[in-house]
Structure 1
Amino acid sequence: MEQNAKTYEVHLIANEKLKITGKGDNILWKDAVVLSNFISPWSSENPSRIEFRALWDKNYLFFCFKVYDTNIHIDKKDNSVYSIGNSDRVELFFRPDRSLNPYYCLEMDTEARIMDFIAYPNKKFDYNWNWPENDITVKSSKNDTSFTVEGAISIESLKKFHLIKGDKIETGIFRAKYNSIDNKNFEPTWITWINPKTETPNFHTPTSFGILHLMP
């Protein structure tokens, strides 16, 4: 783990069940800590407000992104990695340790499409790898002020990939925002919870990760 790494407390759901709808409107979410101090270290513009929440129970890690942005760019050519990778999205990266050998990436757009892959140092990505289908659920919604991406990941799968160490999960939390250059071409603004302190945008580095602390 990084020394003095930022930590987000994930509160435990004791006796109730959290149903994923894509709206993030379950009453249980009121018990989650709101993480909103996201930044874009490589851009002079302040990003739209992002609220990230997480909860857990004995079976699942639950997460919810609410992004106060309605100017959404999405590439709908197909459901390929290329298409999702050229769309506004939110991202969760998980690693067993700072070696990043390997680490696991979940990139989810506003249509709840998932670009999931295993990665290795120096941005070596294996897009043929997928998070086990029965171990992840992602849903999304939009309204007049924001979009929401809500999901659940099984604790069993996190343990299988050696991602839970005691009560901690080393995690990167990100967003990619695409802005129009000339009404035809779009360029991304990269937004992160942790400033990795790289000269150019880079989430695929040890310094971009914080800690999700599973509270008892």
Structure 2
Amino acid sequence: MKEYQVVLVDKNQKIDTEIIDVALWGKANCLTDFSSPWKNDPISKIEFRALHDRDNLYFNFRVFDTDIYIDRKDDSVDSIGNSDRVELFFRANDSLNPYYCLEMDTAARIMDFEAKPNKDFDFNWNWPKEDLKVKASEQENSFTVEGKISLASLKALNLIQGNCIETGVFRAKFSKDENQNYQPTWISWVDPNTPEPNFHIASSFGKFILME
């Protein structure tokens, strides 16, 4: 199983009005080994970083893509699900019963839900607002989605085993096809080895190791 080491930082270095002091991201390991196993087309570079301070898990996606598609008809699950976004899934074990999904688009809209095997989704479940913060921004050649999740909320959901969080890291990229309809390209940190795109499967997860 792939592993990513989440570096520990001093909680006193945070800026209260931001997710985390931007200078601290330089301490994080940079994860870039993403792929779309179901397509041969090249994908835009993705840089993922995470840190923790024993209170929160901080995450940062930087995607080197400026051709962003957002479905703005409303803020529904369907609208977010039809937009360019980044995703984090968390599970207690490979039974996936349950697991928790956090999908965020480039406007920082959040689709969070509890899931069970065979894509049994409960969209009435939401991460407690006080335990999750997300922001998004655009740069000249990229966009960034970053946030923080309280470790207390992860522990309450039984998602931290020792110093390990079993996690899926994904991206959905929408592009126009020959009929001018937007179609997704599915991008993953871990290749789940499925014939069709599927993140909702045990083989799509890796491990985040909370370092001391």
Contact 2:34-2:188 within 8 A present in 1 as well: yes
Secondary structure, aligned partner of 2:29:
coil
Contact 1:70-1:147 within 8 A present in 2 as well: yes
Contact 2:14-2:21 within 8 A present in 1 as well: no
Correspondence for 1:7 = 3
Contact 1:104-1:118 within 8 A present in 2 as well: yes
Look up the equivalent residue of 2:88 and give its one-letter code: L
Look up the equivalent residue of 1:35 and give its one-letter code: L
Contact 1:117-1:129 within 8 A present in 2 as well: yes
User: 1:206 offset after TM fit, Å?
Assistant: 0.2
Secondary structure, aligned partner of 1:141:
strand
Alignment of 1:35-184 (within 5 A): 35-182=31-178, 184=180
For 1:6 and 1:71, the matched residues in 2 are separated by 30
For 2:71 and 2:139, the matched residues in 1 are separated by 19
Which of 179, 192, 208 is residue 204 of structure 2 equivalent to? 208
For 1:134 and 1:147, the matched residues in 2 are separated by 25
- Aligned positions, number: 211
Look up the equivalent residue of 2:193 and give its one-letter code: K
Look up the equivalent residue of 1:110 and give its one-letter code: T
Look up the equivalent residue of 2:117 and give its one-letter code: P
Post-superposition Cα deviations, 1:25-69, rounded to whole Å, max 9, x if no partner, equal 710000000000100000011210000000001210000000000
Which stretches in structure 2 are left out of the alignment for 5+ residues? none
Percentage of pairs with the same residue = 57
Correspondence for 1:192 = 188
Deviates more, 1:182-191 or 1:78-87: 182-191
For 2:163 and 2:42, the matched residues in 1 are separated by 33
User: 1:209 offset after TM fit, Å?
Assistant: 0.1
Deviates more, 1:117-126 or 1:179-188: 179-188
User: 1:205 offset after TM fit, Å?
Assistant: 0.3
TM-score normalised by length of structure 1: 0.94
Cα RMSD after superposing both structures = 1.4
Look up the equivalent residue of 2:47 and give its one-letter code: E
Look up the equivalent residue of 2:172 and give its one-letter code: A
Which stretches in structure 1 are left out of the alignment for 5+ residues? none
For 2:183 and 2:32, the matched residues in 1 are separated by 23
Contact 1:74-1:86 within 8 A present in 2 as well: yes
The runs of 4+ residues in structure 1 deviating greater than 6 Å are none
User: 1:185 offset after TM fit, Å?
Assistant: 1.4
Secondary structure, aligned partner of 1:97:
coil
User: 1:14 offset after TM fit, Å?
Assistant: 2.4
User: 1:144 offset after TM fit, Å?
Assistant: 1.3
